[in-house]
Structure 1
Amino acid sequence: MSDELERPDPVDGVRIEASDGILVITIDRPEQRNAMTKAAAHQIAAALDRLDADPELAAGILTGTADTFCAGMDLKRFAESGERPIVEGRGFGGLVEAPPAKPLIAAVEGWALGGGFELVLAADLVVASDGARFGLPEVRRGLIARAGGIFRATQVLPRAIALELLLTGEPITAADAHRYGLVNRVVAEGAAVAAARELAAAIARNAPLAVRASKAVARRSRTWTDDEAFERQLEYTDAVFASADAKEGPRAFAERCAPRWTGR
């Protein structure tokens, strides 16, 4: 499967491309450092709906053009008209309040600032070039990181490091983000999307029901006790064990052949 949607107005551009079971979403506003607009947020939300609805798609990648992932909210538009790049029910960028059920990988080149970093924090996996930088500078502008940054940063980073980001507005490097567990892989500049495709391809080889259930339990169990987790996970795991794919996996293993997943 391969297709590319007609490129939208470049002022609010988001490019969508699907191939080999992977949906790549590219924020394409290089002259504005890929700052987020309301129109771009709606395009991202529509792309994520497509990711979850299309059985041929296994994973998504979110990235930006040129040397910036996303500089956050378009502050010029906010100052001029009060525009906020929010989609009802999905939040900033059409993502942060309702990530997709399928895995989403952030491929970061250059700066991921403010809301741009909050988009990264809403993803499941992160690949960054060695020149990438992550920051939450809202306090320097009289604002606050309310698109998930305040609580997600403290979930994925050591508390002291997260608070330093939030209270000083100073960024961290890709190397430090990797050392603290935020980033899965650090690659050469210009190679983030290619490395993200490798991760997505590895995901795409696996049983889709098992992948989605694994992500759902991993995300939702953050606040569960162990006793709750063993009970509440059954809502997701029982369906996987009862699926046709649960029979196909062992069969393919026994016969030493590639499994043919049906997602059922």
Structure 2
Amino acid sequence: MGGTEHLSLERVGATLVLTLNRPEAKNALSLPMLVGLHDGWLEADEDDDVRSVVLTGAGGTFCAGMDLKALADGGGMSGDHYRRRLREDPDLHWKAMLRHHRPRKPVIAAVEGHCVAGGTEILQGTDIRVAGQGAVFGLYEVRRGLFPIGGSTVRLPRQIPRTHALEMLLTGRPYPAEEAARIGLIGHVVPDGSALEKALEIAERVNACGPLAVEAVKASVHDTASLPEADGLALELERGWPLFGTADAKEGSRAFAEKREPHFHRR
């Protein structure tokens, strides 16, 4: 299992937990963190024993976005190995931030504290979102004369009502967890310190389902999002119908009839 000095990986059952681990800088994005995220997503994609991913942050903070001081003086963006990785794949940072990569497995965000700027942008690439009551969200880029180029001008209006998306994008103001839930940016608000516990609980429920079905459902939701309804329904049928002929589908039906838990084997 990989990881870097700013990104730790841990297996909890069938869930891979990715932890942004730079708490002294409020988990601001660094090159070692981005490389670790990139490699973590790939590990989850390639390991069939991983059925879900949880993304969280160390030290009571999710992510305060890009480290502007590091961009100015090179701190946090150093390391020959990491710079070489970025030269070899100039798209690596966008894949790490889920702008140019969609993980095959469901990704559940467990947010505590600040999840702003690049943190809110990464959040939009996750599938299910849990936050502590004290969490804060927002896209602060315009306040610095910057552009939220991690995908927010495209994704946010598709994920929450347009008026809320534009207010968030154009004012750069902070959004407390309860408001973020009310506008649909996150799904659960839990007591501070328990977001990871709740995320792992949701992950365990996902892990108990048929993995082929879970991955096909996630892919269908994303791939049909921008299609006309008729085209989306056609693609859904094309993707979903073959699942009924799998051994996992037969096992699910048998388990239901026999009143037991199913044992899926991804085939």
**TM-score (norm. length: structure 1):** 0.92
Contact kept? 1:129, 1:174, Cα under 8 Å? yes
Superposition map of 1:51-200 within 5 A: 51-81=44-74, 88=91, 91=94, 93-200=96-203
Q: Give the equivalent residue in structure 2 for 1:207.
A: 210
Structure 1 Cα separation of the partners of residues 59 and 126 of structure 2: 20
Tell me if structure 2 keeps the 8 A contact 1:92–1:147. no
Shifted more, 199-208 versus 240-249: the winner is 240-249
Give the superposed CA RMSD: 2.0
Equivalence for 1:241? 244
- Look up the SS of the partner of 2:225 in the other structure: helix
Q: Is the 8 A contact 2:117 2:138 kept in 1?
A: yes
Q: Are the structure 2 counterparts of residues 7 and 100 from structure 1 closer, same or farther at C-alpha, using a change threshold of 3 Å?
A: closer
| Residues 7/99 of structure 1: CA separation in 2 closer, same or farther (3 Å cut) | closer
1:91 to partner: Cα distance: 0.5
1:188-221 CA-partner distances (Å, limit 9, x unpaired): 0000000000000000000000000100011111
How many Å apart are 1:146 and its aligned residue? 1.1
Counterpart pick for 2:17 among 2, 17, 24: 24
CA–CA separation in structure 2 for the residues paired with 1:15 and 1:218: 29
Partner Cα separation in structure 2 for residue 148 and residue 235 of structure 1: 29
Relative to structure 1, the CA distance from residue 116 to residue 143 in structure 2 (aligned partners, 3 Å threshold; closer, same or farther) is same
The normalised TM-score by structure 2 is 0.91
Cross-structure match for 1:44: 37
Q: Secondary structure at the match of 1:73?
A: coil
Percent of matched pairs sharing the same residue:
39
Determine if contact 1:38/1:87 at 8 Å carries over to the other structure. no
Residues 1:212 and 1:90: Cα distance change in structure 2 (over 3 Å): farther
Q: 1:130 to 1:19 in 2, by over 3 A?
A: same
Give deviations 1:96-126, integer Å, cap 9, x for gaps. Answer: 3212010001100011111111111110000
- In the alignment, does 2:253 pair up with 1:256? no
Tell me if 1:14 matches 2:17.
no
Unaligned residue ranges in structure 2 (runs of 5+): 78-82
More divergent stretch after superposition (162-171 vs 83-92)? 83-92
CA pair 217-6 structure 1, distance change in 2 beyond 3 A: closer
The answer to which of 66-75 and 238-247 deviates more is: 238-247
Partner amino acid for 2:184? G
Runs ≥4 residues deviating over 4 A: 81-87
Contact 2:16 2:54 in 1 (8 A): yes
Cα distance in 1, alignment partners of residues 220 and 135 from structure 2: 30
CA distance in 2, matches of 1:240, 1:79: 51
Change (3 A) 1:211 1:249: same
Alpha-carbon displacement from aligned partner over 1:59-114 (angstroms, at most 9, x marks no partner): 00001111210011111121224969996266063423212010001100011111
